[in-house]
C-alpha cells in the first residue's frame, strides 16, 4: 500500500485514488523567462520519479505540469530584451524541454500554458464573484477576499491573524484586507497589447494563482488526487489555489498535497533572488545528466539537498559502481539496452525496493537496495539479478543506458544540449579519442606480451593522466573515464 506524506495533514497517509486504478496529478511547473536551475531540476526529477512509480504500481496516471508564460517577470524581461513575451517564452520553453530530456524526465501528459486558458480563468473569477468571494478594487483589479474563505491557512498551517500582512511588504491600499490577492490585474497603458485580454472587468491579465486553479480543474476536474510543487509554493500559492478552487466550485479540490525540499548552496536555499543558483545546463557541462538525476534521487524528496561539486563527484562514484556491475549483464539478443523486461516482484530485493518506494517514495532506501543487488550480483555472477537491477532502476528512471556509454562518458540518444562529449578531463595534457585509446591499448597489449611492463605501465599512466582508467581482465582490456 502506497503511503504519501500529505502536506495538508502533515502526516503519511494511505494513498487511495478518487477513481480506483486512476491517478490525476498536477504539479506547478516553471515560469519561463530564464534558464532552469537545479532547484527546478529537483521538481522535475522528483515528480517524474513519482509519475514513474505510480505507473510502475499499475495505476493509470494523468500527469499535468503547467507552464507559466505570462507574469510580471516575463513582461519585464521581454521589455528589457526588446522582444515579445511570446518569443521569450517560446525560447525558454524549448530550453526547459532540452534540460528535462537530458535529465531523463518523461514529458507530462499535459503541459498547459497559462495564456491558453484565460477564458477558463475568467469563468472561474466570475464564479468567485458570484459566490461573494471576489471584489473589484478601486484601481480596477479583481481581488480575492481571503477573510470570506474560512478554511484559509489550512494547508500552510497559518492563521490569517498570524500572517501579519504588511510586516515585510507595503500594504496595497486598494485591497480590503492585506491578505487579499489579485485574480485579475487591470491593464496599464504602458503595457504591450500582447499582455492584455478582454474581460468583464475590463482589459487586463490574470493574477498568478488563478492559472493553476483553472488549468487543474479544466484538465483534471474539480477534484483530483495529487498536487505537487516546491516547498516554497505551499504558501501563498497553493493556499490561494485551494481558496480559489474550493471557493468557485464549492467542493474539495485536492486530496494529497506534496512538496519537495529545496536545493541548497552552502546551507542556503538556492534561488533566483539570492543569486546563488546554478543552471541545469551549467552543471551538465561538468557532470553527466544521469549523475545529476541520481544525486537528486539519492536524497529523500522532502529533505534539503546541498549542492556542491564534491557531492556530485560522490554521486558519480556511486552510480559508477552500479553501472560497473551492469557491465557484465549480457545484452538481450536482438535488443539494445533501451529495452528491458518486467520486474520480478516476488524476488526479495524487488520486495524491499517496493516497500521503500511505497513508503512515501523513499528513494534513498530504494537506491540502497540497488547497491545490495549489485553486490549480490557481483558475488554470484547472476545475470538474473543484474537484469533485476536494471529493470528496478527503470522504475525510477535510472540505469537505462548501455554501461559502456555511461562509463566512457557518452550520451545516449541525441540531446540537443551540448553535454559531456569525449574530451576527457581538463587536467589532462593529451586529449584522447576512442580511436587513440584503442590504439594505445593495443600498443600496451603488445608490450605486455613481451613482458615489457615498464612500457605497459607508462601507457597506462599516460592515459590515466588524461582521465582514462584501464582495466585488464581475462577478456581483454577495457577503459572508462575516471
Partner RNA sequence: GGCGGGGUAGCAAAAUGGUUAUGCAGCGGAUUGCAAAUCCGUAGACGCCGGUUCGAUUCCGACCCCCGCCUCCA
Site for RNA in 364-383 (CB under 7 A): 364-365, 367-368, 371-372, 374-375, 378-379
**Count residues contacting RNA (CB under 7 A)?**
84
- Rounded to 5 degrees, φ, ψ at 55 are -65, -40
- Rounded to 5 degrees, φ, ψ at 427 are -75, -20
Among 1, 173, 310, 475, binds RNA (CB under 7 A): 310
9 contributes a contact to RNA by CB under 7 A? no
Binding to RNA (CB under 7 A) within 329-348 occurs at none
| Choices 49-57, 97-105, 135-143, 156-164 (CB under 7 A): range interacting with RNA | 156-164
Residue 470 pairs in a beta bridge with: 479
- Rounded to 5 degrees, φ, ψ at 154 are -65, -45
| Choices 140-148, 188-196, 227-235, 335-343 (CB under 7 A): range interacting with RNA | 227-235
298 contributes a contact to RNA by CB under 7 A? yes
Least separation in angstroms between CB 80 and RNA: 16
268 contributes a contact to RNA by CB under 7 A? yes
Least separation in angstroms between CB 19 and RNA: 27
C-alpha cell belonging to residue 159: 492563521
Among 202, 448, 462, 465, binds RNA (CB under 7 A): 448
Among 17, 104, 206, 229, binds RNA (CB under 7 A): 229
**Which DSSP string corresponds to 254-292?**
EEEEEEEPPEEETTEE--TTTT---BHHHHHTTS-HHHH
247 contributes a contact to RNA by CB under 7 A? no
| Choices 122-130, 193-201, 235-243, 394-402 (CB under 7 A): range interacting with RNA | 235-243
Q: How many CB atoms lie within 10 A of CB 58?
A: 7
User: Which is closer to RNA, CB of 90 or CB of 159?
Assistant: 159
By the 8 A CB rule, do 266 and 259 touch? no
- For 112, residues 6+ apart whose C-beta sits below 8 A from its C-beta are 64, 66, 67, 215, 218, 219
Write the CA distances from 380 to 286, 328, 476, 478, integer angstroms. Answer: 35, 12, 21, 22
3 contributes a contact to RNA by CB under 7 A? no
User: Which is closer to RNA, CB of 251 or CB of 274?
Assistant: 274
160 contributes a contact to RNA by CB under 7 A? no
Helix segments in 327-470, DSSP class H: 348-358, 363-380, 383-394, 403-407, 434-449, 453-465
User: Which is closer to RNA, CB of 128 or CB of 210?
Assistant: 210
Collapse the DSSP code of 381 into the 3-class scheme (helix H, G, I; strand E, B; otherwise coil) and give the result.
Answer: coil
Least separation in angstroms between CB 425 and RNA: 15
303 contributes a contact to RNA by CB under 7 A? yes
Site track for RNA across 248-267, x = CB under 7 A: ------------xxxxx--x
Instruction: Enter the DSSP assignment of 187.
Output: P
Alpha carbon 326 to its chain centroid, in Å, reads 26
154 contributes a contact to RNA by CB under 7 A? no
Name the residue with cell 605486455.
448
User: Which is closer to RNA, CB of 17 or CB of 441?
Assistant: 441
104 contributes a contact to RNA by CB under 7 A? no
How far apart are the C-alpha atoms of 407 and 267, rounded to whole Å? 31
1 contributes a contact to RNA by CB under 7 A? no
Least separation in angstroms between CB 224 and RNA: 18
By the 8 A CB rule, do 422 and 410 touch? yes
273 contributes a contact to RNA by CB under 7 A? yes
- For 13, residues 6+ apart whose C-beta sits below 8 A from its C-beta are 3, 4, 5, 6, 256
90 contributes a contact to RNA by CB under 7 A? no
Q: How many CB atoms lie within 10 A of CB 413?
A: 10
| Choices 89-97, 121-129, 136-144, 231-239 (CB under 7 A): range interacting with RNA | 231-239
Least separation in angstroms between CB 3 and RNA: 11
User: Which is closer to RNA, CB of 3 or CB of 127?
Assistant: 3
164 contributes a contact to RNA by CB under 7 A? yes
Binding to RNA (CB under 7 A) within 400-439 occurs at none
Least separation in angstroms between CB 452 and RNA: 9
84 contributes a contact to RNA by CB under 7 A? no
Among 16, 18, 73, 430, binds RNA (CB under 7 A): 73
C-alpha cell belonging to residue 247: 471557493
Nearest to 372 by CA among 395, 394, 347, 396: 347
Among 58, 82, 167, 193, binds RNA (CB under 7 A): 167
User: Which is closer to RNA, CB of 17 or CB of 460?
Assistant: 460
Binding to RNA (CB under 7 A) within 10-39 occurs at 10, 28-31, 37, 39
Residue 27 pairs in a beta bridge with: 65, 228
How far apart are the C-alpha atoms of 82 and 79, rounded to whole Å? 5
How far apart are the C-alpha atoms of 193 and 304, rounded to whole Å? 42
Cis peptide preceding 417, ω within 30 of 0:
no
314 contributes a contact to RNA by CB under 7 A? yes
Least separation in angstroms between CB 408 and RNA: 13
Collapse the DSSP code of 177 into the 3-class scheme (helix H, G, I; strand E, B; otherwise coil) and give the result.
Answer: coil
How far apart are the C-alpha atoms of 288 and 290, rounded to whole Å? 5
Amino acid at each position: 500500500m502506497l503511503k504519501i506524506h500529505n502536506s495538508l495533514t502533515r502526516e503519511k497517509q494511505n494513498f487511495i485514488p478518487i477513481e480506483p486504478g486512476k491517478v490525476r496529478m498536477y504539479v506547478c511547473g516553471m515560469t519561463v523567462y530564464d534558464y532552469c536551475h537545479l532547484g527546478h531540476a529537483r521538481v522535475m526529477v522528483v515528480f517524474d520519479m513519482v509519475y514513474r512509480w505510480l505507473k510502475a504500481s499499475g495505476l493509470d496516471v494523468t500527469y499535468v505540469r503547467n507552464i507559466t508564460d505570462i507574469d510580471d517577470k516575463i513582461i519585464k524581461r521581454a521589455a528589457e530584451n526588446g522582444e515579445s513575451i511570446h518569443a521569450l517564452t517560446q525560447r525558454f520553453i524549448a530550453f526547459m524541454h532540452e534540460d528535462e530530456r537530458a535529465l531523463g524526465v518523461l514529458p507530462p501528459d499535459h503541459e498547459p500554458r497559462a495564456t491558453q486558458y484565460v477564458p477558463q480563468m475568467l469563468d472561474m473569477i466570475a464564479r468567485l464573484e458570484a459566490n461573494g468571494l471576489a471584489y473589484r478594487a478601486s484601481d480596477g483589479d479583481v481581488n480575492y477576499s481571503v477573510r470570506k474563505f474560512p478554511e484559509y491557512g489550512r494547508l500552510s498551517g497559518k492563521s490569517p491573524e498570524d500572517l501579519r500582512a504588511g510586516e515585510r511588504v507595503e500594504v496595497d491600499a486598494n485591497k480590503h484586507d492585506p491578505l487579499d490577492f489579485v485574480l485579475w490585474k487591470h491593464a496599464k497603458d504602458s503595457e504591450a497589447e500582447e499582455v492584455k485580454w478582454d474581460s468583464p472587468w475590463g482589459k487586463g491579465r490574470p493574477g498568478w494563482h488563478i492559472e493553476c486553479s483553472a488549468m487543474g480543474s479544466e484538465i483534471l476536474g474539480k477534484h483530483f488526487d495529487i498536487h505537487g510543487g516546491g516547498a516554497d509554493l505551499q504558501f501563498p500559492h497553493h493556499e490561494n489555489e485551494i481558496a480559489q478552487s474550493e471557493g468557485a466550485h464549492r467542493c474539495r479540490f485536492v486530496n494529497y498535497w506534496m512538496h519537495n525540499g529545496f536545493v541548497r548552496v552552502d546551507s542556503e536555499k538556492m534561488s533566483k533572488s539570492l543569486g546563488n543558483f546554478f543552471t541545469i545546463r551549467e552543471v551538465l557541462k561538468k557532470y553527466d545528466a544521469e549523475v545529476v538525476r541520481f544525486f537528486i534521487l539519492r536524497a529523500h524528496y522532502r529533505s534539503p539537498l546541498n549542492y556542491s561539486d564534491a557531492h556530485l563527484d560522490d554521486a558519480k562514484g556511486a552510480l559508477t559502481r552500479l553501472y560497473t556491475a551492469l557491465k557484465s549483464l549480457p545484452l538481450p539478443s536482438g535488443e539494445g539496452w533501451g529495452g528491458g523486461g518486467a520486474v520480478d516482484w516476488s524476488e526479495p530485493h524487488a520486495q524491499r525496493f517496493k516497500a521503500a518506494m511505497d513508503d512515501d517514495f523513499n528513494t534513498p532506501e530504494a537506491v540502497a537496495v540497488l547497491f545490495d543487488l549489485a553486490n549480490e550480483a557481483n558475488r554470484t555472477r547472476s545475470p538474473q539479478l543484474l537484469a533485476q537491477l536494471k529493470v528496478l532502476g527503470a522504475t525510477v528512471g535510472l540505469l537505462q543506458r548501455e554501461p559502456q556509454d555511461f562509463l566512457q562518458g557518452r550520451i545516449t540518444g541525441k540531446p540537443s544540449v551540448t553535454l559531456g562529449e569525449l574530451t576527457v578531463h581538463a587536467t589532462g595534457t593529451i586529449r584522447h579519442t576512442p580511436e587513440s585509446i584503442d590504439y594505445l591499448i593495443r600498443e600496451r597489449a603488445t608490450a605486455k606480451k613481451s613482458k615489457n611492463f615498464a612500457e605497459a605501465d607508462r601507457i597506462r599512466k599516460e592515459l590515466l593522466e588524461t582521465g582514462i582508467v584501464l582495466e585488464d581482465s581475462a577478456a581483454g582490456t577495457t577503459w572508462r573515464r575516471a
